[in-house]
Chains A and B, each alone.
Chain A
């Protein structure tokens, strides 16, 4: 029955993503109904975006950076001034400078790491005009970059990468916004509050007083899931019965996490004119996803004998139980979403290991919207290069040669992961001010540090919640690392796309290494596992693996 439930879930997911990819292909190629094109063209021209002008990789990258910089400054300002601004019925004070920096970076980079607790520290204006906006446009930025990178690989020699303003606007207006409206209304019907009234005071059945926070949450939660953002309206995210009240709200939200990332695989196939290429990337991602999900499911259902018989229910909601919490945990860490419906800190050690690995390999198993696909293309470049070395031929992908420049850039982008996670984590494990964030003794404490730095570098945003994210060291260090994890990948990848677009496309010959069969899928998985996971194996051995062996020996800390 469990298998039937999972099978149905994946059939629905892939079916929806397949249909969405069809629409996305139309959106990005501009084959839209005329009224939509008119609206979009008028808006873009009014904003000075010159929609008909194509961009090279550097202009595209500069536009991304300029747009995100402006978004950061606006969000930072709103957070710093929220105490003085309207739409603040609960009278919440302004956010401190370091926390505002961390939160603004976090939402602009599509990380949505929460060092704050929404219902206690943010006004409705900050949640709406601040966070919800970046939920949309940071997702749209990732999607635009992915489309530009695909064009670099696919378009005829000498083409531009497209126009960032057009791609970003189309992602928001014609993909994210319509889906969010549907999901927000569905969630509100299920019981997610969508009100501008402040908290309500209830006098309980046994006479106790209870202040119940609420707010305009359904609208934000919809885009939080669809845009792989993940920052909750409430502190405990989608574990909160207001954020995720029912089984159907949970299914809708967890499907939404993976919907656009899966659709990007199929969109890739369509845009390069060979759907098998999209299926190959999907297959590599799906194999790794199912393997990781199986581990989490088995450990969470088996539970923690130190706490009693039954599933591991510490930090989980009764309505979701082990299975829906496992599928969420796998999806949110694979997809760079970072929302949670159960507390990851209390998952079993090897479940935590899977979540760490999913983030550390760079969020390429479906990954963030757009970001997962361009991240995986990094590994594709490296896999094709390795295959070329093995057979002694110049590596090619989609008919174009992969040469020194592309491989150098790919390795450079890849290095941001160990830099953020290992170097950042090493500082956080040695500096006393940073060590104070650790809650749990023993190897689990190291897992908490690793999780935070992996989440920030991978722009995921979920956390081992016991770890103190709100001190000034962590807000600053993680803010800087989130910037590294986002732009040190985007810029080199756009450069790779720019240089690919300049190369001639050679037709496939009998000597061409096919990049769509099981052989390539296996090679791609091995590249991800060897490069990604082995970089982090030594430190994983000291964290979750040491914790598991201690647990099996009956130790506690």
Chain B
């Protein structure tokens, strides 16, 4: 065993330097040079302040915005988590029924499955096109905008499957809400 110790220790040190420091630092340098926006978290800035990341859901609740999927961890982007409740969990079934009632009361339309189930990350930036379009009338009413125009904007922000085969069609909630704010400014408060 002793004759194995020298190579064991030396190679551990060598690979710690190579794969633990040189490799991640080189990747950081390259990524920061080649694609700095992506490598820093796809942040969105407005007038010098960071208003979020296009990849991270925000807890939108206002009537004039698309609402994200439920989050079991309160949209905490520094401590993620899911419900992890099993398919026969009474607590899960009750929570989904409660969300469905609230969602349908708010939007006046049947709730698609993604609107009432919590995502795996608690930070899902997307909703299904059905869930997005079902919120169009509520958003148009809150903004005093033409529902057809709101619908058209949402439809234009739908991302399709990759290669037409993989993934699900989706709408990015944050980016679409920013587009909504630009296209149909909210009426002044108290109106």
| A316–B72 CA distance with the chains assembled, in angstroms | 12
From 409 to 454 in chain A, residues with beta carbon under 8 angstroms from any chain B beta carbon are 439-444, 447-448
Task: State which of A1, A63, A250, A448 has its C-beta within 8 Å of the C-beta of B165.
Answer: A1
> Residues 58-69 of chain B: 1 if any A CB is under 8 Å from the residue's CB, otherwise 0?
111110010001
B88 within 8 A of A: yes
A533 to chain B, nearest CB (A): 22
Task: State which of A69, A210, A313 has its C-beta within 8 Å of the C-beta of B113.
Answer: A313
> Residues 31-65 of chain B: 1 if any A CB is under 8 Å from the residue's CB, otherwise 0?
11011001111110000011111011111111001
Q: Which residue of B lies closest to A2 (CB)?
A: B165
Task: State which of B12, B31, B167 has its C-beta within 8 Å of the C-beta of A319.
Answer: B167
| A172–B35 CA distance with the chains assembled, in angstroms | 27
B158 to chain A, nearest CB (A): 12
| A310–B60 CA distance with the chains assembled, in angstroms | 24
B19-A165 in contact (CB<8A): no
From 440 to 487 in chain A, residues with beta carbon under 8 angstroms from any chain B beta carbon are 440-444, 447-448, 464-467
Task: State which of A48, A129, A180 has its C-beta within 8 Å of the C-beta of B7.
Answer: A48
| A41–B49 CA distance with the chains assembled, in angstroms | 53
A293 to chain B, nearest CB (A): 15
| A310–B42 CA distance with the chains assembled, in angstroms | 31
B118 to chain A, nearest CB (A): 6
Residue of B56, B59, B126 with most partner-chain A CB within 10 A: B56
B148 within 8 A of A: no
B162 within 8 A of A: yes
B178 within 8 A of A: yes
Question: Number of contacting residues on B, CB 8 A?
Answer: 95
B11-A342 in contact (CB<8A): no
Q: Quick one: given A194-B31, A204-B51, are A212 and B114 in contact (CB under 8 Å)? A: no
Q: Quick one: given A208-B58, A218-B39, are A48 and B80 in contact (CB under 8 Å)? A: no
From 228 to 246 in chain A, residues with beta carbon under 8 angstroms from any chain B beta carbon are 234-236, 239-242, 245-246
A84 within 8 A of B: no
Residues of B within 8 A of A464 (CB): 84, 86
A284 within 8 A of B: no
A191-B88 in contact (CB<8A): no
Residues of B within 8 A of A466 (CB): 83-86
B58-A313 in contact (CB<8A): no
Residues of A within 8 A of B189 (CB): none
Residues of B within 8 A of A196 (CB): 28
B35-A236 in contact (CB<8A): no
Residues of B within 8 A of A191 (CB): 38, 42, 55
A349 within 8 A of B: yes
| A105–B34 CA distance with the chains assembled, in angstroms | 36
B178 to chain A, nearest CB (A): 7
A200-B43 in contact (CB<8A): yes
Residues of B within 8 A of A137 (CB): 12, 15, 19
Residues of A within 8 A of B140 (CB): none
Residues of A within 8 A of B31 (CB): 184-185, 188-189, 194-195, 218
| A69–B12 CA distance with the chains assembled, in angstroms | 10
A357 within 8 A of B: no
Task: State which of A130, A200, A236, A250 has its C-beta within 8 Å of the C-beta of B120.
Answer: A236
Residues of A within 8 A of B34 (CB): 185, 188-189
A215 to chain B, nearest CB (A): 9
Task: State which of A128, A168, A442 has its C-beta within 8 Å of the C-beta of B24.
Answer: A128
B15-A206 in contact (CB<8A): no
A317-B6 in contact (CB<8A): no
A439-B39 in contact (CB<8A): no
| A547–B10 CA distance with the chains assembled, in angstroms | 51
A439-B121 in contact (CB<8A): no
A251-B166 in contact (CB<8A): yes
> Residues 106-119 of chain B: 1 if any A CB is under 8 Å from the residue's CB, otherwise 0?
00000111101111
A213-B78 in contact (CB<8A): yes
A314-B85 in contact (CB<8A): yes
Q: Which residue of B lies closest to A193 (CB)?
A: B41
| A17–B80 CA distance with the chains assembled, in angstroms | 34
Q: Which residue of A lies closest to B49 (CB)?
A: A203
A317-B119 in contact (CB<8A): yes
> Residues 300-334 of chain A: 1 if any B CB is under 8 Å from the residue's CB, otherwise 0?
00011011111111111111110110000000000
A345-B113 in contact (CB<8A): no
B119 to chain A, nearest CB (A): 5
| A556–B20 CA distance with the chains assembled, in angstroms | 47
Q: Which residue of A lies closest to B125 (CB)?
A: A241
Residues of A within 8 A of B5 (CB): 66, 70
Q: Quick one: given A133-B15, A205-B52, A319-B167, are A346 and B39 in contact (CB under 8 Å)? A: no
B54 to chain A, nearest CB (A): 8
Q: Quick one: given A62-B4, A136-B15, A193-B41, are A206 and B61 in contact (CB under 8 Å)? A: yes
A190 within 8 A of B: yes
A214-B125 in contact (CB<8A): no
B126-A317 in contact (CB<8A): yes
Residue of A309, A314, A464 with most partner-chain B CB within 10 A: A314
| A67–B79 CA distance with the chains assembled, in angstroms | 34
B93 within 8 A of A: yes
A205-B170 in contact (CB<8A): no
Q: Quick one: given A129-B21, A194-B28, A219-B24, are A200 and B165 in contact (CB under 8 Å)? A: no
Task: State which of A212, A342, A347 has its C-beta within 8 Å of the C-beta of B41.
Answer: A212
A119 within 8 A of B: yes
Residues of A within 8 A of B137 (CB): none
Q: List 14 A-B contacts (CB under 8 A).
A: A194-B28, A195-B41, A203-B49, A205-B52, A205-B65, A205-B174, A206-B59, A218-B27, A307-B117, A310-B112, A315-B119, A317-B126, A348-B87, A443-B88
| 19 more A-B residue pairs beyond the given contacts A188-B30, A251-B162, with a C-beta to C-beta distance below 8 A | A8-B165, A66-B8, A70-B5, A132-B23, A172-B19, A188-B27, A199-B78, A202-B43, A212-B41, A216-B27, A242-B56, A247-B167, A313-B113, A315-B84, A318-B127, A346-B83, A439-B84, A444-B89, A556-B90
